[in-house]
């Protein structure tokens, strides 16, 4: 049940996030069509098929009313994001300590807000670094006349994957250290963070493969896209809680008296 509560608010938060992104596009990129197109292309790569096309269409429609859309998106994102972070924190505390701290409104919401901002910053930095590194590598290969050389495309893919893994490790360190509120040093949690990062990349590949499978069917794309994303989010948080439980049972923490609670259900 730990993952179910986070999944509900995380899925709910997708819609205000889209509105917020559309607002940012409308305000910052209103007169820059190439940058808008790059963002749309990135969305279509992340969500293959008609699912990505539907998201892009909604974003394009919301760009024209950026101000109002931005306010609605921000309020919805803060509500869903804070609730999802709260459920995530409670689950991590239960796994690491076997108990949950007594609730305190201001302390908990400020901590959840800081954690949410940090996660958003890391996610944004990941997108920027991955995009910039991939673009720079492609441009360099073109200037050197090596873009048609066998293996050039593989090099770009591997570089993007490595950058994604580095970002994922940071996110899982954030989960295990900041959200769970553990006293352990980040380097002691690094093995668990690396385990989580690799597993998350596998889930990303599986999610993209699933969306590509339902691309040819209009009915499957309409219904299967949303259901697939919901199931994928649930699997991600189940795996996140499993990673925390696995990390807490490592010898270095068991010897220190850590008492992990139940894994996600």
Reported as a single tens digit per residue, the pLDDT across 99-138 is 777 777 777 778 788 877 777 776 666 656 665 666 666 6
Answer yes or no: is 264 within a domain: no
Answer yes or no: is 176 within a domain: yes
Answer yes or no: is 260 within a domain: no
Answer yes or no: is 265 within a domain: no
Euclidean distance between CA atoms 58 and 19, whole angstroms: 9
Number of domains present in the structure of the chain: 1
pLDDT number for residue 235: 92
Q: What is the DSSP string of 69-131?
A: HHHHHHHHHHHHHHHHHHHHHHHHHHHHHSS-PPP-HHHHHHHHHHHHHHHHHHHHHHHHHHH
Confidence of residue 218 (pLDDT cuts 50, 70, 90): low
Q: What range does the domain containing 152 cover?
A: 2-254
pLDDT number for residue 258: 45
Euclidean distance between CA atoms 215 and 225, whole angstroms: 9
Token representation of residue 208 = 């993209």
pLDDT, mean of residues 188-212: 87
pLDDT number for residue 147: 60
The yes-or-no verdict on residue 8 having pLDDT over 90 is: no
Answer yes or no: is 241 within a domain: yes
Answer yes or no: is 207 within a domain: yes
Nearest-CA neighbor of 87 among 254, 221, 234, 246? 234
Euclidean distance between CA atoms 6 and 81, whole angstroms: 9
Answer yes or no: is 262 within a domain: no
Model confidence pLDDT, tens digit, residues 17-39:
877 777 777 777 666 677 777 77
Answer yes or no: is 259 within a domain: no
Torsion of CA 181, 187, 188, 194, to 10 degrees: 90
The yes-or-no verdict on residue 243 having pLDDT over 90 is: yes
Confidence of residue 10 (pLDDT cuts 50, 70, 90): confident
Would you say 88 and 6 are in contact if contact means Cβ atoms under 8 Å apart?
Answer: yes
Residues, the chain: 265
Give the Å distances, CA to CA, from 46 to 41, 55, 190, 225, 246: 9, 11, 27, 12, 29
């Amino acid at each position: 049940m730990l993952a179910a509560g986070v999944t509900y608010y995380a899925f709910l938060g997708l819609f205000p996030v889209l509105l917020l992104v559309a607002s940012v596009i409308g305000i910052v990129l209103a007169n820059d069509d190439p940058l808008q197109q790059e963002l749309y292309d990135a969305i279509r790569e992340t969500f293959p098929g008609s699912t990505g096309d539907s998201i892009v269409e909604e974003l394009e429609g919301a760009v024209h009313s950026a101000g109002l859309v931005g306010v609605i998106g921000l309020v919805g994102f803060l509500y869903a994001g804070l609730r999802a972070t709260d459920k995530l924190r409670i689950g991590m505390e239960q796994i690491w300590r076997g108990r949950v701290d007594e609730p305190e409104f201001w302390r908990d919401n400020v901590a959840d807000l800081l954690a949410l901002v940090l996660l958003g910053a890391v996610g944004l930095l990941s997108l920027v670094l991955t995009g910039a590194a991939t673009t720079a590598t492609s441009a360099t290969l073109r200037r050197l006349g090596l873009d048609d050389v066998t293996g050039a495309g593989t090099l770009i893919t591997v570089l993007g994957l490595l950058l994604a893994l580095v970002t994922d490790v940071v996110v899982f360190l954030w989960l295990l250290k900041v959200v769970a509120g553990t006293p352990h040093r980040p380097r002691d949690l690094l093995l668990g963070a690396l385990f989580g990062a690799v597993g998350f990349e596998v889930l990303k590949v599986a999610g993209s493969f699933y969306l590509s499978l339902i691309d040819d069917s209009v009915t499957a794309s309409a219904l299967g896209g949303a259901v697939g994303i919901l199931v994928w989010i649930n699997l991600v948080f189940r795996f996140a809680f499993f990673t925390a439980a696995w990390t807490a049972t490592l010898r270095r923490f068991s010897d220190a008296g850590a008492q992990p609670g139940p894994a996600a259900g």
